[in-house]
Amino acid sequence: MPPSNITDLGIGGMTCSACVSRVERALQKVPGVAQASINLASESARVTWTAAAPADLETREAQLRRAVRDAGYEPLAREQQEALLANPWQGFAPVALGLLLSAPLVLPMLGSVWGQHWMLPALWQFLLATPVQFILGARFYKAAWHALRQGSGTMDLLVSLGTTAGWALSVWLWLHTPADAMPMLYFEGSAVVISLVLLGKWLEGRAKRQTTQAIRGLQALRPLTARILTAQGEEDIPVADLLVGDRVVVLAGARIPADGPVLEGRSQVDEAMLTGEPLPVLKEVGDTVRSGTLNGEGRLVFQVHATGAASVLSQIIRLVEDAQAAKAPIQRLVDQVSAVFVPVVLVLSLLTGLGWWFSGHGLEPALIHAVAVLVIACPCALGLATPAAIMAGTGVAAKHGILIKDAQALERAHQVGTVAFDKTGTLTVGRPRLLSLQCLDAEDDAQAAHWLGVAAALQRGSEHPLASAVKVAAEQAGLTVLTPQAVVVETGYGLQGQVGERTVLLGSLRWLQILGVPLAPWLDRAAALQAQGATVSCLAERVAEDWVPRALLAFGDEPKPGVAQALQALRAQGLRLVLISGDNAGAAHHMAKRLGLRPDEVHADVLPGDKVAWVRRLQAQTRSASHPAVAFVGDGINDAPALAAADVGMAMAGLQGGGTDVAMNAAGITLMRGDVALVGAALAISKHTVTKIRQNLFWAFAYNAAGIPLAALGYLSPVMAGAAMALSSLSVMANALWLKRWKP
């Protein structure tokens, strides 16, 4: 479900990029609308409202529907769009009727190849062509009239003008030819052009529906019912009725209806639809399950923490919809070209007709060639070139666990030349262990256990990975952990508070040095631990007015499986790799060596806020490079500022962690599993999609660039022009659909 300041609306009847511009202008005139973005491929509008917009959502939607109708198009509710998607033959009846009526008109042209004269009488040609022209073609007249009233040009205007001219010329010739002569009529041109345009739009619509399969496939994963535990036993209810706190039973082979932690049971869960990971994941008590994933052979009981629009599945669907509704920067250029394209074509058509007429060829060939120019120039392919490729690209990326938040990130990613990584949780497992706790005043087990309990108490409410390691160590030691008081967190440094009668702080050595804690006698010991790759923190106690160091805590993490190979593959692609870590230099360089990174690629002791400065510095260094964009890869929580500052932010949203929501909002691209290989895959799908966009735009312009002169010079009849125009749209859609075959 989109945010309350955004309204999505389906729109029927759009045929080209000029239609898109027209509807956008109509919607932006509605009071309270801040921005309107139309996607021709999905036939939908996304409207962003200002704070001054009507508070009532129904009033907003009513205003938008009226604006769409006034512009000459039909607003469609989601149910109507889903009905259109459900029936693959929807809308084929007018196409079939047009082809049936046009076939007898085309047969004489085919017969003439073999010397046969099957020409129908003029009356029969009139009777066959007129229903096609004015009944099946009524949609073109209606849309063209609305376009003229608003002073804009669309494909419908070109089609209606061209075919009407051909039909009217045929009627004029028929009425002014002697009864004993056979006039040269062009009814077949008008009828066949309309039939071909209708066929092309119908085939195009079928192709469009394939580009939206990603979203429909995700939506189909939502189960309709859920089995909850009540005081009376188990009861099946609609998923829409689930409440936070409900306990839900998931049987073997069933889809999980909401998000929440497992309370009972143990089972393998297939999360491929969220992460792209083909292997099932073991879920035990305390692990989180997600809506839409498929339970294996075990029985699970979990408690609902998020359902409906708050579930990860709904957020993923919204993310894919947002990306497919957004316009790539290159599409804005296409829209500007399309705004002047139709008026230019009308002028060219007029000049073509006048040129043939004044050169002594007569009115008939002049009109025919002018009509051919109008028909061949329809900018359908131009309007579809970019959105069709973006929809296919974002859809196939989502299938493999790569969620692209907006079209700008997709288009920008292929220009990435530098990839900067956070360390903990991105390149490493992100679950550090407490390797050792060394007391600074006395080396005995009782003292070590005491200070471990104090450290665990101080970090009792913290979700930081190092805090979790301390709490796990205390739990394994069987210690009783007190509840701290007056805890104050210094982001990026540590925290301090009251544990029992003691005032203590726990944080980085750098923080303690800033506070003036006397660490000099212990720095050699800390340096030795850091040289071994450990992250070192210090626990200090306030005695009178001074801080006294009590213990050194050494933490260690492990690199993720396969991460060294993934980094090597990125380097082989010519990418510059950089590690930006808040860890100490010793630990960062030790881990970098294990990962195959060079010392000059490591920047350590960087606070979360300073990572933005490093991203800016990298951007300044690469500004003149052939691939100037800088990507930052982090876990989406403490790295959010750097993710937002980078040209392309990639957040690893591990589904077992709590960073999924933050990751989706902070970064342009979200990697739904913590696999560094997905970074290369995200850059690859961006490159493939941008390539398809460029190919589509080339073919769209090439058809017009070649077709208009050929039609103006008399080498293309209106029928051939109509076929070429339909073929251009189909070729663009078919080229975009090749992206569906992409695999990481």
Residues whose CB is less than 8 angstroms from the CB of residue 95 and which lie 6 or more positions away in sequence, other chains included: 195, 198, 199, 202
Whole-number Å distance between alpha carbons of 616 and 642: 9
DSSP 103-118: HHHHHHHHHGGGT---
- Polymer length of the chain: 744
Q: Residue 226: its pLDDT value, please?
A: 92
Give the 3-state secondary structure of residue 6: strand
pTM of the model: 0.67
Tell me the torsion sign for CA atoms 532, 537, 543, 545. positive
Q: How many helices (H) and strands (E) does the chain have?
A: 26, 26
DSSP at 30: S
Backbone angles phi, psi at 662, to 5 degrees: -65, -40
Strands 669-671 and 648-652: parallel
Q: Which residues pair with 648 in a beta bridge?
A: 631
User: Order of strands, edge to edge, in the sheet holding 288-289?
Assistant: 233-238, 225-230, 247-250, 300-303, 260-265, 288-289
Low-confidence residues in the chain, pLDDT < 50? 1, 655-660, 663
H/E/C letters for each residue in 338-393? HHHHHHHHHHHHHHHHHHHHHHHHCHHHHHHHHHHHHHHCCCHHHHHHHHHHHHHH
Question: Which residues are designated catalytic?
Answer: 422
Q: Mind giving me the DSSP string for 214-235?
A: HHHHHHTTS-SEEEEEETTEEE
Share of the chain above pLDDT 70, in %: 85
User: Measured at the alpha carbon of residue 318, what is the angle toward residues 27 and 23, in degrees to the nearest 5?
Assistant: 15
**CA 514, CA 619: separation in Å to the nearest integer?**
31
Whole-angstrom distance, CA of residue 484 vs CA of residue 467: 14
**What's residue 566's pLDDT?**
93
Q: Is 488 left (phi over 0), alpha (psi -120 to 50) or beta?
A: beta
List all residues 6 or more positions away from 356 whose beta carbon is below 8 Å from its beta carbon: 365, 366, 369, 370, 714
Half-sphere exposure for 469 (CA within 13 Å, toward CB): 20
Dihedral sign computed on CA atoms, order 280, 282, 283, 287:
negative
Q: Reading across the β-sheet that carries 648-652, which strands appear in turn?
A: 402-404, 669-671, 648-652, 629-634, 416-421, 576-580, 602-603
Average pLDDT in the chain: 82
pLDDT number for residue 638: 64
What is the set of domains in the chain, with CATH numbers? Answer: 6-86 (3.30.70.100), 223-256+258-306 (2.70.150.10), 416-429+559-646 (3.40.50.1000), 433-556 (3.40.1110.10)
Question: What is 282-296 written as a DSSP string?
Answer: EE-TT-EE-TT-EE-
